[in-house]
Structure 1
Amino acid sequence: MADLERRRRLAEFLRSRRERITPREAGIPAGPRRRTPGLRREEVAQLSGVSVTWYTWLEQARDITVSRQVLTSLARALMLSSVERRHLFALADEQPPEQPPGGGPGPALQRLVDALEPHPAYLLDANWDLVGWNRAEAGLIGDPAQLDPAERNLLWLVFTDPALRTLLVDWQGQARDLVAQFRADTRGQFGMPRFEWLTDELRQRSPEFRTWWEAHDLADFGSSRREFTHPAAGALTFDYVKLAALDAPGVKLFACMPADAETARKLPELVAVASGAPVTAAAPAAPAAPAAPTPSAPLTAS
């Protein structure tokens, strides 16, 4: 029943978009005796490169297969906006195509990431490319700005940067989990140039990635805990929280919340590392006088 309802909604949406476009807007001679102001089914079929019968079945909510290529052609023929295009793919139970270059996060989203300091935070696009980060994140994993743009990718760093193998406690377990999460999260990118280049290069460069990628394991993200052995700050433990950016489709914000009081105390050291300032160990808090109230607890992950 749910699938039938989805097909009905897809049919209704296509019909509504077809009826709002005039022949002149579509570059088709209007001709005499048109009973409707919009396009005919056969005209949409012709503009989309599909058969009239197939398109008619689609508007009749028949149980037929719709490929991403056909959806892209329909979106172009019906002159859909970006939000209408995403809605069309969702109704067809398909992932929308890769966002065009330049469709990443805007300045406001980067300001939000900066405002999260001293907590490390970063932005990933649909291919897990790092498209934004703050100084605390740069102090934790190294500054992505120093890398070639093609290498500013979370999986690329985990599998090709020797420093990350030392930084991540239980590198093998965390790296394998990331591969399973990446496969599940990027299923809409299969066949896209950036995705294919990235996975091909990683298979060639990393035997571990090749083995785990070919296992076809899948995993949801969920909130996760990661432990680090930082060369300047020492032992750090973070709980990761992921948020989707509604105004930047495909972009996700990751915030690293300290999982214990010791990690919370060391957060300023990560900013200092990224700024090139000398790192000095924070002095332990002086014991409170007997009559003084108990100090409030440092920020911890929920």
Structure 2
Amino acid sequence: MNYPGIGTPTLKYGEDMIDHEELGAFMKACRARVDAEAMGFPVGKRRRVAGLRREEVAELAGISPDWYTRLEQGRDVGVSRRVLECLSKALQLSEAEMGHLFALAGVQRPVETAVSSSEAVVSQAEVLEALSPNPAHCVSGPWDIEAMNMAAEVAFPELHGKKAGGNVMRMIFRDEGFRERLADWESHAKQCLATFRTLYGRQMRDPRFRQLVNELTLSSEEFAAWWPRQHVGDLSPASKRFIDPVLGELRFTVRFFQPTEDPGRILTVFMGDAYTQQRLGEALADRSIGWKE
């Protein structure tokens, strides 16, 4: 399995991948977040909507107001790459949001991905093993755990729990133990949810995504409140801090990698600082001794 680095996966797009209702909901949410006054439109007491009006988006994008309305209402309206680029500019979308818009519309966005020809192809197990004592796991689909190294088992025992069921999103939103150990849980949860939304847009035909969204909507108040906001994110590095009752304070820089030949998988590596690596190394050594005895 090849892990060259972070990048937008090469996906096959087509009409069968378009979710018009999801596309319309996303555009509506983005429109509501734009500062109309900053875009040159008058803002007064008569303005009843947050952000831009539909006709204002259409004006900025250079398209018909009626056509934009039908698109936002989830009707079966085809869109070109050029139109999506204009809409992205009108809605002030970030790179991650723009990629999400293209994915929802079923339009391939041109991406340049540099891959070194000298990179060795290694197995998933070898990659995970080599990263110890840094915790690492590989997920697929809606963040279902495929494999993890022993350091991840020590650092994140919640992933084995019944509530998590081998899924990262369940661990974040349903496991109270994980929530208590993670400093600034709300910020972390919102960031993960935004990234999950991006993956959802790229793989929306996978029924596991919709099943998990329905499950978490019913079981987590925070998920139910945040999911409709349509925030999207990317796989940027992030800092995380845990307060573990046994290991003490653990600090990580989390990095994500996608194999070029299978973009549906994500390798997540928790790069610990010197103290964190020392504590995890000691815990792994103790665990190894226990097994031998």
Tell me which interval the TM-score lies in, with the shorter structure as reference length.
Answer: 0.5 to 0.7
Instruction: Note the aligned Cα RMSD (angstroms).
Output: 3.1
Question: Cα distance, 1:266 vs. partner?
Answer: 1.2
Q: 1:229 to 1:249 in 2, by over 3 A?
A: same
CA contact (8 A) 1:139 1:273 kept: no
Instruction: Report the counterpart of residue 198 of structure 2 in structure 1.
Output: 184
Q: Which residue of 2 aligns with 1:116?
A: 131
- Structure 2 CA distance for partners of 1:139 and 1:195, relative to 1, 3 Å: same
- In the alignment, what sits opposite 1:267? 280
The answer as to whether partners of 2:137 and 2:149 remain within 8 angstroms in 1 is yes
Code of the residue aligned with 1:208 in structure 2: it is: E
Larger radius of gyration: 1
Q: Provide the rounded CA distance (Å) in 2 between the counterparts of 1:273 and 1:138.
A: 14
Tell me the residue number matched to 1:141: 156
Partner of 2:142: 127
AA matched with 1:134: N
Which letter maps to 2:278?
R
Query: What is the letter of the counterpart of residue 216 of structure 2?
Result: L
The runs of at least 4 aligned residues of structure 1 exceeding 4 Å deviation read 145-148, 272-278
Following superposition, the deviation at residue 198 of structure 1 comes to 0.3
Verify the 8 A CA contact 1:140 1:270 in the aligned structure 2. Answer: no
Unaligned runs of 5+ in 1: 1-9, 11-63, 68-88, 96-105, 279-302
Tell me the secondary structure at the aligned position of residue 138 of structure 2: strand
Matched, 1:212 2:226: yes
Q: Give the distance between the partners of 1:257 and 1:203, measured in 2 at CA.
A: 31
SS at match of 1:214: helix
Contact 1:139 1:272 in 2 (8 A): no
Q: Aligned pair in 2 of structure 1 residues 220, 107: CA closer, same or farther (>3 Å)?
A: closer
Cα distance in 1 for partners of 2:285, 2:215 equals 34
Residues 206-245 of structure 1 mapped to structure 2, 5 A cutoff: 206-245=220-259
- Cα distance in 1, alignment partners of residues 136 and 218 from structure 2: 30
The SS at the match of 2:134 is coil
Shift of 1:237: 0.5
AA in 1 matched with 2:154: G
TM-score (norm 1): 0.53
Shift in Å, 1:242: 1.0
Work out the CA distance in 2 between the residues paired with 1:141 and 1:175. 15
* CA shift for structure 1 position 168: 0.7
SS in 1 for 2:236: coil
- Give the direction of change, closer, same or farther, for the CA distance of 1:213–1:273 in structure 2 (3 Å limit): farther
Is contact 2:135-2:149 (8 Å) kept? Answer: yes
What SS class does the counterpart of residue 132 from structure 2 fall into? coil
What is residue 37 of structure 1 aligned with on the other side? none
Tell me how far apart the structure 1 counterparts of residues 223 and 269 of structure 2 sit (CA, whole Å): 25
Aligned equivalents of 1:231 and 1:111: distance in 2?
Answer: 30
Q: C-alpha separation between the residues in 1 aligned to 2:271 and 2:145?
A: 19
Aligned pair in 2 of structure 1 residues 272, 229: CA closer, same or farther (>3 Å)? Answer: farther
Aligned residues: 181
Q: Which amino acid aligns with 2:133?
A: P
Q: Distance in 1 between matches of 2:214 and 2:286?
A: 33
Q: Could you report, residue by residue, the CA deviation over 1:259-301 in whole angstroms, capped at 9, with x for unpaired residues? A: 3x322321214435766949xxxxxxxxxxxxxxxxxxxxxxx
Structure-to-structure mapping, 1:8-23, within 5 angstroms: none
Question: Is the 2:172–2:178 contact (alpha carbons within 8 Å) kept by the matching residues of 1?
Answer: yes
SS at match of 1:190: coil
Q: What is the identity, as a one-letter code, of the residue corresponding to 2:176?
A: P
